[in-house]
Chains A and B, each alone.
Chain A
């Protein structure tokens, strides 16, 4: 009995000291999805994110000398689980990474109350660009409206005039797929092309024969795609089957997954995807990850995955987070920052060309900077093309013409704020960006 008491006491003491020991860290949880229907696209992204941060922890002892605890909480892409994870982690988290438009929509209104920044790089609600309204949300470096604008720009650059052309917007019938419609509609009216949205229901993702039959009948000049998970593979195989000219098929950045294209291999040659990240196997950061993470056996990834677009995008996302943390640490003069200090940091990211190569990310992300009024940064991106084996860059850096939809951003942000009244605005921030 006495021994039992001793043991129990020892356990309690150990627990208390362990609790004290873990206080020195930056807790940046990730609402990951390595299970469920979207796992195939989730895993490379999560691996990239995790590997970059473990590399920083191993090489530099974290960010600013404090290790980053990038604990994952599994959501399986389910909104319900996502909210559960958010509630579980929000106590000590300095950032939340919701990783799905559905979870973002649910968490977004709560952030003003909980005061935790949301980092949703390249996804979520496009008007989040308006930092005055969405104080706590960041979708740097580029949003969906930027993507829509850049794709249209690219087509214009290739073809000259778009008037009289027909463009199909093949999209997932979900908030995510509908997100670019306002901008595409505005562009269609301005440039005189005909826009035909074709939705793909969540249940029809794998079998899109009806949609592609319609595409064949309509004979569009271009098909642009907002697809995710199983929908991309379904669309690409169906396009190959119906002999659609892959040159005229363009996806958003989430529809540019190497594994989806590998299914069709050479037949997918010419398929394009706009992207704000690019895999550069020769970048110094890749060598560091190999040395500090992969060779130590701490990575869950494999060489094939590591050469892909999504893994490198995971790295870029973690780099953006680390950059926000660094900015906050420098400004506030403390290494152990809290959530609201990180908010300031994410508002003051300045990823110049020099800074990008200093971080060893050469050619992996275009330069951008955020401000209190602009939470997106509008980095722009490159058009990538599948050459039958891998994605290659086929355009110079495209930059979105944000003036074209600045009013739309302001309108939608104001609409969101009124329908969620009382909604606090960031009054300290001046209008110019």
Chain B
């Protein structure tokens, strides 16, 4: 009833191929847009910006990048954290070597470097598949983190080996560094993440996306119908690493403010991989749902005992939190092994035929 699609006729190819051909979907998106564009930023506290809104979007973007590679093109990767690091260090070097550079341009360009590195480490994918490829990308993970530690030029020979984000301005207002307001950073992140998401939706619907899906589903068959596997796999690596690199630059420049090499170590790769898997491989929306569950939920859970007035020590809260989030992950994977995105898809289908299921 609420989600009735009957009667929504499409009379042109253009309207049939619209991003959201169903009216209710567009309406829902409008509500979400209203929230993220106006209601959240106007009501959120500094705490909400720094621990929920900004990180959820950045992690979702990183997971989206990984999803292009793993979910759409079927190439398993464990090197996401390191590729994020490449983006972050590239951005840092660009803004320190060329201080006149617009930081937003630097962030968008930093993805180019990680795309290059990603393609380099993607070359083995032409010969190996599945778990074997995962091991090859794991090598990238170890090698790159080692490089971030040893190559002192990358962190400008800083004695502590960490990078610090300088205060940078765009049109006279601070966007990075400690002087920047959270709300400005929020809108910058929102803009870039929205842009990347649009790009990904369109890419995965188009020719390239179909090539990737064919490669994922059966590469021999794909090759037989004339798909160039090398091109398909390497473009997936390039585009995925580009998005991951931009996410890495945002991660350090728009959120953390400082980073040491081991930040980009394997736990970060796993976290992004979990977001992608729990959200649903081969989906765009799933990345956001996964990021909300993995990044946003623990923060909210941490606040619960204090708001209820329960006197539990903070260490205990942390233990409980780990247990609750862990069991939620298991629960969601049992209920819907294909991720939160699939769960939403089923709910939506049920809504369409409700209240008269056949």
Q: Do A and B bind each other?
A: yes
B178 sits at the interface (CB 8 A): yes
Q: State whether B178 touches A35 (Cβ < 8 A).
A: no
Q: State whether A175 touches B160 (Cβ < 8 A).
A: yes
Residues of A within 8 A of B156 (CB): 419
Known pairs A105-B160, A179-B159; A84 contacts B51 (CB<8 A): yes
Q: State whether B314 touches A87 (Cβ < 8 A).
A: no
Residues of B within 8 A of A79 (CB): 256, 263
> Could you tell me the distance between the alpha carbons of A175 and B96 in the complex, rounded to whole angstroms?
20
Q: State whether A419 touches B318 (Cβ < 8 A).
A: no
| Residues of chain A from 331 to 351 with CB closer than 8 A to chain B in the complex | none
B16 sits at the interface (CB 8 A): no
Q: State whether B262 touches A174 (Cβ < 8 A).
A: yes
B227 sits at the interface (CB 8 A): no
Q: State whether B265 touches A109 (Cβ < 8 A).
A: no
A387 sits at the interface (CB 8 A): no
> Could you tell me the distance between the alpha carbons of A173 and B145 in the complex, rounded to whole angstroms?
12
Q: State whether B315 touches A34 (Cβ < 8 A).
A: yes
> Could you tell me the distance between the alpha carbons of A110 and B258 in the complex, rounded to whole angstroms?
11
| Residues of chain A from 292 to 331 with CB closer than 8 A to chain B in the complex | none
Interface membership of chain A positions 26-53, coded 1 if the CB is closer than 8 angstroms to chain B and 0 otherwise: 0000001011000000000000000000
Residues of B within 8 A of A34 (CB): 313-315, 318
| Minimal beta-carbon separation of B356 from chain A (angstroms) | 37
Which of A68-76, A228-236, A241-249, A378-386 is found at the contact surface with chain B?
A68-76
Q: State whether B159 touches A110 (Cβ < 8 A).
A: no
| Minimal beta-carbon separation of B70 from chain A (angstroms) | 24
Q: State whether B160 touches A422 (Cβ < 8 A).
A: no
Q: Which of A35, A112, A178, A203 contacts B319 (CB 8 A)?
A: A35
> Could you tell me the distance between the alpha carbons of A173 and B148 in the complex, rounded to whole angstroms?
12
Q: State whether A76 touches B167 (Cβ < 8 A).
A: no
| Minimal beta-carbon separation of A203 from chain B (angstroms) | 8
B317 sits at the interface (CB 8 A): yes
Q: State whether A179 touches B160 (Cβ < 8 A).
A: yes
Q: In the complex, which residue of chain A has the Cβ closest to the Cβ of B257?
A: A106
Q: State whether A73 touches B47 (Cβ < 8 A).
A: no
Q: Which of A88, A202, A421 contacts B265 (CB 8 A)?
A: A202
Known pairs A87-B47, A113-B178, A202-B262; A32 contacts B167 (CB<8 A): no
> Could you tell me the distance between the alpha carbons of A136 and B14 in the complex, rounded to whole angstroms?
60
Of B46, B50, B162, B314, most A-chain CB atoms within 10 Å: B314
Residues of A within 8 A of B166 (CB): 419-421
Q: State whether A74 touches B51 (Cβ < 8 A).
A: no
| Total number of residue pairs linking A and B with CB closer than 8 Å | 92
| Residues of chain A from 89 to 138 with CB closer than 8 A to chain B in the complex | 90-91, 101-102, 105-106, 109-110, 112-113, 125
Q: State whether A35 touches B315 (Cβ < 8 A).
A: yes
A283 sits at the interface (CB 8 A): no
Residues of B within 8 A of A182 (CB): 159
Q: In the complex, which residue of chain B has the Cβ closest to the Cβ of A421?
A: B167
Dominant SS at the A interface? Answer: helix
| Minimal beta-carbon separation of A67 from chain B (angstroms) | 16
Interface membership of chain A positions 177-213, coded 1 if the CB is closer than 8 angstroms to chain B and 0 otherwise: 0110110000000000000000100110000000000
Q: In the complex, which residue of chain A has the Cβ closest to the Cβ of B260?
A: A175
B177 sits at the interface (CB 8 A): yes
| Minimal beta-carbon separation of A66 from chain B (angstroms) | 21
Residues of A within 8 A of B164 (CB): 105, 109, 416, 419-420
Q: State whether A84 touches B258 (Cβ < 8 A).
A: no
Residue total for A at the interface (Cβ-Cβ under 8 A): 40
Residues of A within 8 A of B260 (CB): 102, 105, 174-175
Q: Which of A32, A91, A109, A203 contacts B257 (CB 8 A)?
A: A109
Known pairs A420-B167, A420-B177, A421-B167; A175 contacts B318 (CB<8 A): no
Residues of A within 8 A of B51 (CB): 83-84, 87-88
Known pairs A84-B51, A175-B161, A182-B159; A106 contacts B315 (CB<8 A): no
A412 sits at the interface (CB 8 A): yes
> Could you tell me the distance between the alpha carbons of A188 and B96 in the complex, rounded to whole angstroms?
31
Known pairs A72-B314, A74-B318, A101-B160; A84 contacts B167 (CB<8 A): no
Residues of B within 8 A of A419 (CB): 96, 156, 164, 166
B149 sits at the interface (CB 8 A): yes
Of A72, A106, A110, most B-chain CB atoms within 10 Å: A106
Q: State whether A74 touches B317 (Cβ < 8 A).
A: yes
> Could you tell me the distance between the alpha carbons of A202 and B262 in the complex, rounded to whole angstroms?
8
Instruction: Apart from A72-B313, A202-B265, A420-B164, list 15 A-B contacts with CB within 8 A.
Output: A32-B314, A34-B313, A71-B314, A74-B315, A76-B318, A83-B256, A84-B51, A84-B302, A105-B160, A110-B178, A174-B262, A178-B159, A178-B161, A181-B159, A419-B164
B residues in contact (CB < 8 Å) with A: 46-47, 50-51, 96, 149, 156, 159-162, 164, 166-167, 177-179, 256-258, 260, 262-263, 265, 299, 302, 313-315, 317-319
13 A-B contact pairs sorted by A residue (CB < 8 Å) = A34-B318, A74-B314, A76-B318, A88-B47, A91-B47, A106-B257, A173-B149, A175-B162, A178-B161, A182-B159, A416-B164, A420-B164, A421-B167
> Closest 9 A-B residue pairs measured CB to CB?
A175-B160, A34-B315, A109-B178, A74-B314, A74-B318, A87-B47, A84-B51, A87-B50, A72-B314
A residues in contact (CB < 8 Å) with B: 32, 34-35, 71-74, 76, 79, 83-84, 87-88, 90-91, 101-102, 105-106, 109-110, 112-113, 125, 173-175, 178-179, 181-182, 199, 202-203, 412, 416, 419-422
